[in-house]
């Protein structure tokens, strides 16, 4: 089971540069086995071109490294915080994709203007508050990054909105599998790019109509979903 978990995490990490979501060694993906309480994550700073399935590092939900000779991603505490805070998810992706990161750096959510966005997010892609100087320098920066994400979702369903922009930083996305988290990361970047182009064409453009938003989101999600095959 854990060999398969490492393979899933490996495949997800390789998908990030393939989809143009990262440059250099920015970004990471992890896959969680909830029954075992263990997740596989990319090793820190390893080039994607030389990455192998055996390089994936196994970490438990208490933060202990249980397998792997390499150091896990520096973002491992953020992944762990999200797995603990969002019990419905089993895969997380973090990228620095250009357009979504532009919104994050500006501290602005990605507005929802059309149905492409509504297919994945039941509203705007939210942005967190800025971390405080104490949260940044207190020795648990990555854990605090996870905390501000969980804090932002106090009134949001992480399945209705499977992604977030960390203020001044970049996007995180998630799903019931790491493959789904990759798909959402692709969608988030696409939505951010289209939002910027829409604002260039129509600077005063308003959000999508609620009824159209609900129709497109609910035809793919929830008990009444009918998009795709059984």
Q: Are 117 and 197 in contact (CB under 8 A)?
A: no
The pLDDT value given to residue 156: 97
Tens digit of each residue's pLDDT (9 = 90 or more) over 29-86: 999 999 999 999 999 999 998 999 999 999 999 999 999 999 999 999 999 999 999 9
The 10s digit of each residue's pLDDT in 104-154 is 999 999 999 999 999 999 999 999 999 999 999 999 999 999 999 999 999
Predicted pLDDT at 23: 86
CATH number, domain 2-218: 3.40.225.10
What kind and span of H or E run contains 136? helix 133-137
Decide: 138 and 168 in contact? Cβ < 8 Å: no
Does residue 1 surpass a pLDDT of 80?
A: no
Q: Is 120 a catalytic residue?
A: no
**Mean pLDDT on 206-217:** 97
- DSSP letters, 26-54, are --EEEEEETTTTEEEEPBTT--GGG--GG
For the chain, the structural domain boundaries read 2-218
pLDDT at 224: 85
pLDDT band at 196 (very low <50, low <70, confident <90, very high): very high
Q: In which residue are the tokens 């996305």 written?
A: 173
Contact 46, 13 (CB under 8 A): no
Please, what's the b/e burial string for 98-131 (b: 16 or more CB within 10 A of its CB; e: otherwise)?
bbbbbbbeeeebbbbbbeebbebbbbbbbbbeeb
Q: Is the pLDDT of residue 217 over 80?
A: yes
**Mean pLDDT score of the chain:** 96
Rg (CA), the chain: 17
Closest by CA position to 15, among listed 26, 32, 31, 29: 29
223 has a pLDDT exceeding 90:
no
- The pLDDT of residue 187 is 98
Lowest mean pLDDT among 2-6, 35-39, 178-182, 221-225: 221-225
Predicted TM-score of the model (pTM): 0.96
In this predicted structure, the answer to whether residue 24 has a pLDDT above a threshold of 90 is no
Among 170, 176, 121, residue whose Cα is nearest residue 149: 170
156-183 average pLDDT score: 98
Does residue 227 carry a pLDDT above 90? no
Of the residues 33, 55, 60, 119, only one is catalytic, namely: 119
The answer on pLDDT for 209 being more than 80 is: yes
Q: Is 204 exposed, middle or buried (0-12, 13-18, 19+ CB in 10 A)?
A: exposed
Q: Which two tokens stand for residue 27?
A: 């970004």
Partners of residue 110 on adjacent β-strands: 125
Contact 29, 42 (CB under 8 A): yes
Contact, 187 vs 119, CB < 8 A? yes
Please classify residue 177 by burial: count the beta carbons closer than 10 Å to its beta carbon, then call 0-12 exposed, 13-18 middle and 19+ buried.
middle
Please report the pLDDT score of residue 177 as a whole number: 98
Active site residue 227: yes
């Amino acid at each position: 089971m854990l060999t398969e978990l490492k393979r899933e995490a490996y495949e997800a990490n390789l998908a990030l540069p393939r989809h143009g979501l990262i440059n250099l060694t920015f970004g990471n993906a992890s896959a969680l086995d909830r029954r075992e309480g263990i997740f596989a994550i990319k090793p820190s700073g390893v080039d994607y071109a030389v990455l192998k399935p055996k390089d994936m590092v196994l970490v438990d939900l208490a933060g202990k490294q249980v397998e792997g000779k390499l150091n896990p991603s520096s973002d491992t505490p953020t992944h762990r915080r999200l797995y603990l805070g969002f019990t419905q998810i089993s895969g997380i992706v973090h990228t620095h994709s250009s357009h979504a990161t532009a919104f994050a750096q500006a501290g602005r959510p990605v507005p929802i203007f059309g149905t492409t966005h509504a297919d994945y997010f039941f509203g705007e892609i939210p942005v967190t508050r800025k971390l405080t100087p104490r949260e940044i320098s207190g020795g648990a920066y990555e854990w605090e990054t996870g905390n501000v994400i969980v804090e932002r979702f106090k009134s949001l369903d992480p399945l209705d909105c499977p992604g977030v922009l960390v203020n001044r930083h970049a996007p995180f996305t998630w799903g019931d599998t790491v493959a789904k988290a990759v798909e959402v990361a692709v969608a988030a970047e696409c939505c951010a790019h289209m939002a910027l182009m829409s604002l260039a064409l129509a600077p005063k453009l308003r959000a999508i109509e609620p009824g159209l938003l609900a129709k497109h989101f609910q035809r793919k999600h929830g008990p009444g979903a009918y998009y795709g095959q059984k």
